[in-house]
């Protein structure tokens, strides 16, 4: 598991809300596949916008959310507002330090 603050240091973020000491076990971008202690990536895609699934991801056990637009209500213990390039940097750091990535 990694602490949010480790991931933040390895990348560039616009804003962090919540506890950066929170530990996450996996990265996921599909809210239907969230497990407890996951970090959910709310990605805006061509078919749907992951921001619409933040509440579902948190209800399923996500302890952190990485998004381009922070939600008005921050249910998770951590939310990170980032640019689009943050997602690839975050994933690169995660996989380069030998953890599990859930895509």
- Confidence label for 3 from pLDDT (cuts 50, 70 and 90): confident
Higher pLDDT, 29 or 76: 29
- In terms of pLDDT, which residue wins out, 98 or 59? 59
Return d(Cα 32, Cα 70) in angstroms, integer: 20
Plot region of 88 (φ>0 → left; ψ -120 to 50 → alpha; else → beta): alpha
Question: Interior CA angle at 21 toward 102 and 9, to 5°?
Answer: 75
Distance of CA 19 to the CA centre of its chain: 13
pLDDT band at 99 (very low <50, low <70, confident <90, very high): very low
Locate 94 and state its tokens: 């995660």
pLDDT tens digits for 9-38?
766 677 777 777 888 888 888 999 999 999
Q: Structure pTM?
A: 0.73
> Predicted confidence band at 85 (pLDDT cuts at 50, 70, 90)?
low
**What is the pLDDT at residue 102?**
38
63 or 82, greater pLDDT: 63
Residue with the two structure tokens 């996921």: 28
Contact 18/78 with Cβ under 8 angstroms?
yes
């Amino acid at each position: 598991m990694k602490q949010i603050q480790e991931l933040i240091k390895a990348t560039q973020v616009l804003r962090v809300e919540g506890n950066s000491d929170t530990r996450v076990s996996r990265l996921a971008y599909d809210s239907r596949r969230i497990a407890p202690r996951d970090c959910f990536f709310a990605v805006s895609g061509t078919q749907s916008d992951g921001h619409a699934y933040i509440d579902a991801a948190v209800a399923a056990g996500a302890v952190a959310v990485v998004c381009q637009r922070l939600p008005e209500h921050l249910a998770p213990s951590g939310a990170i507002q980032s640019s689009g390039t943050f997602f690839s940097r975050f994933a690169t750091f995660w996989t380069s330090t030998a953890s599990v990535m859930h895509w």
